[in-house]
Copies of this chain bind each other. A is one copy, B any other.
């Protein structure tokens, strides 16, 4: 189905003035015994690929006068807030207090009208829906909407334009927006490996047990990869492509974060290191001579490494 690739090409043109062309590296020695190709998509605006889908959605939609609304304590919320602010669109983001100060600050900096809701995500979503009903504002889905998937697909298109040579691309999966975009763009031209935490095996379980499978999620990457049910677009594309799906322990994710920092001075969140973790844990063993690429997808680590001194400066003097 070439409609996807046509749509992704159009999206790339649409978002080009707003989204960042993120750097790539070929044949990087990370001390793993084999070179790895990398795309550093955590350098995208607001620190993850999510800005691509957010811009594509806003730029291809008739946005109501009431603007947009989202409930998110994470990368999607930050991306939507940033994209809306960049385009002069009113955005209301409901954030669960449990998201923590780093993510809340990120969304605030991105420029949204931010409401911190006491409690967990479900409470924030409830308030977001009430706001939607009341004002007519538009909800933007984080991963299971065509314009979101098409926007994320521009990352893989861009990587190929930048000369990607790998046979196989490893991609972390949460709700599946990023990998769905990659599959939609690649149309089987390269092997795609889906990597999920052992503790959030949403796609893995859905491929085995059916698209409606609901999983429990936890672990170090849960705040970014912790969708409990895989997106239907992702499931459809992954099942059709006969994708390779693997899962990795949290220890391998943490080790991958350490390798990216120590070998390459790239400090990323657990989700951003999850794809690399499959090479470290051996969850994915490339064949002799198989060239592999890893998409580094998110950098919003908590605690914020520069937050401590800021907090220190803000502290009130004692006495």
Report A's interface with B, CB cutoff 8 A: 20-21, 23-26, 28-29, 40, 42-43, 47, 109, 254, 257-258, 261-262, 264-268, 299-301, 305-306, 309-310
Assess the A265–B20 pair: CB atoms within 8 A. no
Chain B residue at smallest Cβ distance from A42 = B265
Name A's interface SS.
mixed
Neighbour of A20 across the interface among B28, B266, B301, B306, CB < 8 A: B28
Assess the B305–A43 pair: CB atoms within 8 A. no
Chain B residue at smallest Cβ distance from A267 = B267
Stoichiometry, as copies per complex, reads: 2
Neighbour of A25 across the interface among B23, B265, B310, CB < 8 A: B23
Q: Identify the interface centre among A29, A305, A310: most chain B CB within 10 Å of its CB.
A: A305
Assess the B265–A299 pair: CB atoms within 8 A. yes
The CA-CA distance from A25 to B162 in the complex, in Å, is 12
Assess the A265–B28 pair: CB atoms within 8 A. no
Measured between C-beta atoms, what is the minimum distance from A108 to chain B in Å?
Answer: 12
> 17 A-B Cβ contacts within 8 A?
A20-B25, A20-B29, A21-B26, A23-B24, A23-B40, A42-B265, A43-B265, A43-B266, A257-B306, A261-B305, A262-B306, A265-B268, A265-B299, A267-B267, A267-B305, A267-B306, A305-B305
The CA-CA distance from A262 to B45 in the complex, in Å, is 9
Residues in B neighbouring A29, C-beta threshold 8 A = 20
Chain B residue at smallest Cβ distance from A264 = B43
- New A-B pairs, 20, CB < 8 Å, besides A20-B29, A21-B26, A23-B25: A20-B25, A20-B28, A21-B25, A23-B23, A23-B24, A42-B265, A43-B265, A43-B266, A109-B262, A254-B309, A257-B306, A258-B306, A258-B310, A261-B306, A262-B306, A265-B266, A265-B268, A265-B299, A301-B305, A305-B305
Chain B residue at smallest Cβ distance from A304 = B261
Measured between C-beta atoms, what is the minimum distance from A52 to chain B in Å?
Answer: 15
